[in-house]
Amino acid sequence: MAKEQCSQFFLAFLRKRKTLICLYVVLAAWVGLFGVFNAYLLKVLIDRLSGSLGGFRDLIAPLLILLVNSEFHNMSWRGINLVCLKLIPPIKSEMTRDLFDRAHQKPYPFFQKRLSGAIAQDVAIITDAFERTIGNIGIRFIRGGAQLIASLILMGSIHLGYSLLFLSWMFCFATVSVLVSKKVRAYSREIARTQSEISGQIVDSFSAAKEVKLFGGAAAESNRLDRFLKRWRYAYKQKGSFFLKFYLLQGCSITCLIFAMTFLLIKQHLVGLVTTGDFVYILSSTFLLTEMIWANTELIDQFNEQMGRCAQSLSHLLKVENENCLENLKEGIVKKGEISFESIVFSYKPDHPLFEGESLRIAGGEKVGIVGRSGAGKSTLIHLLLGFYSLDKGRITIDGQDVASICRESLYQSVAVVSQNPALFQRSLLENIRFSNQMASDEKVLEAARLAGLDLQDALDINASELSGGERQRVAIARAILKNAPILILDEPTSQLDAITEYEVKASLYRLMEGKTTIAITHYLSTLSEMDRIIVLDQGKIIEEGTHVDLLRKNGKYADLWKAQVGNSFLVTQ
């Protein structure tokens, strides 16, 4: 299946360029014929030199054809270079864009399970496999096929027996090669899998380089990498040992063919059935073809390795995820921003349900805080609302529209999220803020930055990597302001900030909440004092709800959390 999957993916891009592909095949075939024609012209020259015909005049025609053929050969190669130039860059660009888009269409769990570096490497492996297939492997296969067909025809024109002998040998050679190809592909897939694991581990370790240094974990990381390298070495040795035996068998079969050809040629030359030129041509063609077949056998190994790595990467990027199987999704129209969780059931593991029939209604424009200990289900509730995971039962609606039936793009246009660790691109501050609204003018971006508390009018071109933690959080707030979505989600927006910066950012958040349906998750309960309602979650269950003051008076779970933060001296009656 590896070859078929990769071939179908590549053909989808090649079909649009049939003329170039035809030209590619013709030129590659002509390049293959060069050696065959030269060998036959050499036969003609030898026959005329050794015959009684004669003089220099009889040699002019084959010599001229030899020179013209040499120039055609040169022009054919330049033609192949030109065709590859018109094929590879545009198709590789289209392929990269297609894979990039496919990856971004994957559901959220895909990015949790796969390292970002491994996903990027998958794209590089597939596009590189295409370039090597078209730029090298394909040319050599076509050239070899043309050489084989032309040589057998010309051999048959001298004596049919030589063509039949070579075909018999080739049939046995090809049969054995096909029989072992499945085993070769299995070895190639295993090597590709172990290489992918090694790359993933290297990326994972380097992405946490700071922690590796702080905890003195370099030696432990090296030992961990050694385990994956050991698996790769074992897979590589298995494949190498197999090919060592296989190539030894192939070499012996080639020696037997050359012996048989030489024996027959000598025997027939002695009785005058073949000329000296025939002798030279058939023997040189045998050497040429066996060398080509040997090289192409090694090429098949390279091709299988490329296809194995390509199939491994495609299996990740082309796999249909359950969350993306919904067809005929509707455009969501959100105006009020009313949210309803209706008897929702969800579990990460079948035998460990998190939510079991919980319901919650949030009115349009209402500001709701969600609190609870770690693992209570706060972030999961938000992820379910955003469609990152599918419910087992129940439904979630926005303005009466089932989230499961809303087109993801239109859903996300209706929601703005400010998270605890906002991801910023290695781009300018202006580009990072405008990312939430690509059509926004510079004036609107500056206004959003000002409302978020960013006083950087003269520094919008600085790289986001130069920003402090507080400034990064303000960029996330500015994005949400610029997006101006009817629903706002605050997921621990101040958890990474010091007390003074938190106080300053809080003012920007309150401005952002105005007129929007807001869901705020935080461990800093003081941030929620202005909320219309606070929901307390515990192991996926709503155990308390009310205003900040009401919940303190109840002296329940929320009051316990509050006391733990501000100290037991706080008087609940206040």
Residue 256, burial from CB neighbour count under 10 angstroms (0-12, 13-18, 19+) = exposed
For residues 175 and 277, membership in a common domain is answered with: yes
Assigned domain for 234 exists: yes
Where among 273, 289, 319 does a domain terminate?
Answer: 319
pLDDT at 21 over 80: yes
Assigned domain for 208 exists: yes
Which has the closest alpha carbon to 512: 473, 472, 480?
480
Average pLDDT over the chain, rounded to whole? 84
Report the CATH number at residue 357.
3.40.50.300
For residues 253 and 146, membership in a common domain is answered with: yes
pLDDT at 430 over 80: yes
More confident position, 256 or 510? 256
pLDDT at 568 over 50: no
Answer whether 200's CB lies under 8 Å from 231's CB.
Answer: no
For residues 406 and 356, membership in a common domain is answered with: yes
For residues 152 and 91, membership in a common domain is answered with: yes
pLDDT-derived band of residue 260, with 50, 70 and 90 as boundaries? very high
Report the CATH number at residue 39.
1.20.1560.10
Assigned domain for 479 exists: no
Which has the closest alpha carbon to 543: 393, 397, 377?
377
DSSP class of residue 17 equals G
pLDDT at 573 over 50: no
Q: Using CA atoms of 46, 51, 53, 56 in order, give the dihedral in degrees to the nearest 10.
A: 40
What's the pLDDT score for residue 574? 42
pLDDT at 59 over 80: no
What's the pLDDT score for residue 323? 47
Answer whether 112's CB lies under 8 Å from 389's CB.
Answer: no
For residues 48 and 76, membership in a common domain is answered with: yes
For residues 310 and 352, membership in a common domain is answered with: no
For residues 168 and 260, membership in a common domain is answered with: yes
The label of the residue with tokens 């309960």 reads 525
- CB 230: neighbour CB atoms within 10 A? 11
What's the pLDDT score for residue 226? 94
Query: Residue 344 is inside which H or E element, if any?
Result: strand 339-349
More confident position, 311 or 23? 23
More confident position, 537 or 70? 537
For residues 306 and 372, membership in a common domain is answered with: no
pLDDT-derived band of residue 94, with 50, 70 and 90 as boundaries? very high
pTM score above 0.75: no
Query: Phi and psi (nearest 5°) for 520?
Result: -120, 125
Strand order in the sheet with 339-349: 352-362, 339-349, 393-398, 401-402
Amino acid identity of 267? K
Summarised one tens digit per residue, pLDDT across range 547-556 is 999 999 999 9
pLDDT-derived band of residue 506, with 50, 70 and 90 as boundaries? confident
Which has the closest alpha carbon to 177: 294, 315, 258?
294
Quote the domain boundaries for residue 354. 339-414+485-566
337: left (phi over 0), alpha (psi -120 to 50) or beta: left
Summarised one tens digit per residue, pLDDT across range 361-411 is 999 999 999 998 888 888 899 989 988 888 989 999 998 888 888 887 788
Assigned domain for 150 exists: yes
What's the pLDDT score for residue 544? 92
pLDDT at 24 over 90: yes
Where among 290, 319, 348 does a domain terminate?
Answer: 319
For residues 245 and 386, membership in a common domain is answered with: no
Read off the tokens for 396. Answer: 């979630």
Query: Residue 73 is inside which H or E element, if any?
Result: helix 57-104
What's the pLDDT score for residue 326? 47
Assigned domain for 562 exists: yes
Q: What is the number of domains present in the chain? A: 2
More confident position, 533 or 419? 533
pLDDT at 475 over 90: no
Lowest mean pLDDT among 203-207, 216-220, 418-422, 492-496: 492-496
Summarised one tens digit per residue, pLDDT across range 201-253 is 887 888 788 788 877 888 989 999 999 999 999 999 998 898 888 888 888 99
Assigned domain for 573 exists: no
Instruction: Give the pLDDT mean for 116-136.
Output: 86
What's the pLDDT score for residue 76? 87
Q: How many CA atoms lie within 13 A of 120 on its CB side?
A: 6
pLDDT at 341 over 90: yes
What's the pLDDT score for residue 53? 53
For residues 16 and 126, membership in a common domain is answered with: yes
Q: What percent of the chain has pLDDT over 70?
A: 91
Where among 291, 319, 347 does a domain terminate?
Answer: 319
Q: What percent of the chain has pLDDT over 90?
A: 23
Answer whether 24's CB lies under 8 Å from 87's CB.
Answer: yes
What's the pLDDT score for residue 456? 62
Assigned domain for 450 exists: no
pLDDT-derived band of residue 570, with 50, 70 and 90 as boundaries? very low
For residues 499 and 556, membership in a common domain is answered with: yes
Assigned domain for 194 exists: yes
For residues 67 and 157, membership in a common domain is answered with: yes
Instruction: Give the pLDDT mean for 38-58.
Output: 74
